[in-house]
Amino acid sequence: MIENFFTTEQVANILQVHPFTILKFIREGKLQGVKLGRVYRIKESAVQKFLEDRSVTSQLRATEGGEQHFSSPAAQPVSDKNRPSATIHAHYSVDQKNSEEKQQYFQL
């Protein structure tokens, strides 16, 4: 039995995304497509599988993820390592030292 094939534009309309997104899914291996000349054709079964895989992934994320708690940077303790002024000073010191070495090298 011959299966129906869709163009990238048709699949984009079905999934309500841009045709470039369909091409991206094909290149990333998320959606199976067949290249015929310069265009891709996608089997109807490949679209169904893509939707099923996405549905399962969404369900797994919902059950595995649970609640996620985020803390703001202001709530985190500041140490010398992650203090911005210490980082900037360290970079400045290295850059200054390197420029002094370059000047000495080129004066020879």
pLDDT per residue as tens digits for the range 17-33: 999 999 999 999 999 99
In the beta sheet, which residues pair with residue 39? 36
CA 46 – CA 73 distance, rounded (Å): 44
The 8-class DSSP code of residue 95 comes to: H
CA 1 – CA 95 distance, rounded (Å): 70
Phi, psi of 39 (to 5 degrees): -125, 160
What are the angstrom distances between the C-alpha of 48 and each of 15, 26, 45, 77, 105?
11, 14, 5, 49, 66
Residue 17 CB neighbour total at 10 angstroms: 13
Nearest-CA neighbor of 19 among 31, 29, 11?
11
pLDDT per residue as tens digits for the range 82-102: 444 444 444 444 455 555 555
Domains and their CATH numbers in the chain: 5-64 (1.10.1660)
pLDDT per residue as tens digits for the range 28-86: 999 999 999 999 999 999 999 999 988 876 666 666 665 554 444 554 555 555 444 44
